Amino acid sequence: MANLSTLYAGLNLNSPIIASSSGLTDNVQNIIELEKAGVGAVVLKSIFEEEILMEMDQIKQQMVGKPYVFPETKDYLDEEPHEDLIRAYLRLIKESKQAVQIPIIASINCISNQKWTYLAEEIQKAGADAIELNLFNLPSNSEIPADELEEMYLVLVEKIVDLVTIPVTIKISQYYTAFGQMLERYSKTGVKGIVLFNRYYSPDIDINTQQVSGAFILSSPAEIALPLRWIALSSESINVDFAASSGVHSGEDVVKFLLAGASAVQVASVIYKKGNSVVTEMNAFVLDWMKTHQYKLISDFRGKLSYKSLNNPASWERTQFMREFRNFLK
């Protein structure tokens, strides 16, 4: 009898499908429903660095005249019975842990290496099974050189890895000058998993109002191409588990990523579009596919089509590009 268990970032998952950080994972009831539908884990909606810093500022204001001083904000949080964002986030972790069996991965959306990092310890104390850091900085500032940004992130990640004993994973973008080398450097920080890729909110332009408008909130299946390539290229050479994010919409996509060497996939858009039951269908598809191909465990085929496992690894690189494009529509 085939089963879908997989090991991702030191966590035992009953399914390789993880509910991605989003509005779907910001309350306990949804998390219970997602577990029933068959997700292997959930990544909670992120707490954002800017929100944390803003709240710390407010707390600082409230602390005027009190014997607590910044940065001992955490003592304040423990002692003052008020409802705030951080407290609510920690409560979400605690309540989710009580309500479900699946691992709960907390998520911090960070853009810099500032004083908020103590929060990682609070998250661990609240019972999270892992922390995902969403390193979310669109490198659009032409005055900041690549190495400065990269160094800032590496220092931040190392700092968080040192602060906690639970696994730390990172969710990153593709916007690096030497992506392969950056993956290698991240893997040396002690992170247990890398999620490829975070997906930036991409604005559109409304030509009637001539205004910038919101668009492309949900992904399309074609978006798997980029993470698929990078996971196939890196899964066996970089010593860390990979999870795919962006464009995973079907059971077929899950199988593709496992063959490329991913340990798990993360899904958000497809659940927004089709509801939780799509997870049940995707799990059933993967199981069926495994039965057809006589695999009992994911480890029997995971990475079979990764760069290193192929006789012709060039199919993930340039040669294939030249062949396919030359012959297209001939």
Ligand X SMILES: Cc1cc2nc3c(=O)[nH]c(=O)nc-3n(C[C@H](O)[C@H](O)[C@H](O)COP(=O)(O)O)c2cc1C
Residues that bind ligand X (CB under 6 A): 20-23, 45-46, 107, 109, 134, 171, 198-199, 217-219, 245-248, 267-269, 272
| Comparison of 146 and 218: residue with beta carbon closer to ligand X | 218
In the chain the beta strands, taken as DSSP E runs, fall at 6-8, 11-13, 17-19, 41-43, 47-48, 104-110, 130-135, 168-172, 193-196, 204-206, 211-213, 241-244, 264-267
Q: Considering the complex, what minimum distance in angstroms separates the CB of residue 46 from ligand X?
A: 3
Rg of the Cα atoms in the chain: 21
Separation of alpha carbons 255 and 287, rounded Å: 10
Helix (H, G, I), strand (E, B) or coil at 273: helix
Q: Considering the complex, what minimum distance in angstroms separates the CB of residue 216 from ligand X?
A: 10
| Comparison of 73 and 245: residue with beta carbon closer to ligand X | 245
Q: Considering the complex, what minimum distance in angstroms separates the CB of residue 274 from ligand X?
A: 12
| Comparison of 149 and 172: residue with beta carbon closer to ligand X | 172
| Comparison of 43 and 166: residue with beta carbon closer to ligand X | 43
| Comparison of 61 and 202: residue with beta carbon closer to ligand X | 202
Residue 166 CB neighbours (<10 A): 19
Q: Considering the complex, what minimum distance in angstroms separates the CB of residue 89 from ligand X?
A: 11
| Comparison of 23 and 71: residue with beta carbon closer to ligand X | 23
Q: Considering the complex, what minimum distance in angstroms separates the CB of residue 219 from ligand X?
A: 3
Helix (H, G, I), strand (E, B) or coil at 310: coil
The encoded tokens of residue 266 equal 């993360």
What residues contact 66, with CB distance under 8 A and at least 6 apart?
76
| Comparison of 68 and 175: residue with beta carbon closer to ligand X | 175
Residue by residue, DSSP assigns 67-81 as S--TTTHHHHHHH--
Helix (H, G, I), strand (E, B) or coil at 299: helix
Residue 97 CB neighbours (<10 A): 18
Q: Considering the complex, what minimum distance in angstroms separates the CB of residue 215 from ligand X?
A: 12
Q: Considering the complex, what minimum distance in angstroms separates the CB of residue 84 from ligand X?
A: 18
Separation of alpha carbons 33 and 276, rounded Å: 7
| Comparison of 21 and 113: residue with beta carbon closer to ligand X | 21
Q: Considering the complex, what minimum distance in angstroms separates the CB of residue 26 from ligand X?
A: 8
Distance of CA 239 to CAs 80, 184, 185, 263, Å? Answer: 43, 8, 11, 12
Helix (H, G, I), strand (E, B) or coil at 261: coil
Residue by residue, DSSP assigns 34-77 as HHHHT-SEEEPPPEEHHHHHHHHHHHHHHTTTSS--TTTHHHHH
| Comparison of 131 and 267: residue with beta carbon closer to ligand X | 267
Separation of alpha carbons 144 and 147, rounded Å: 8
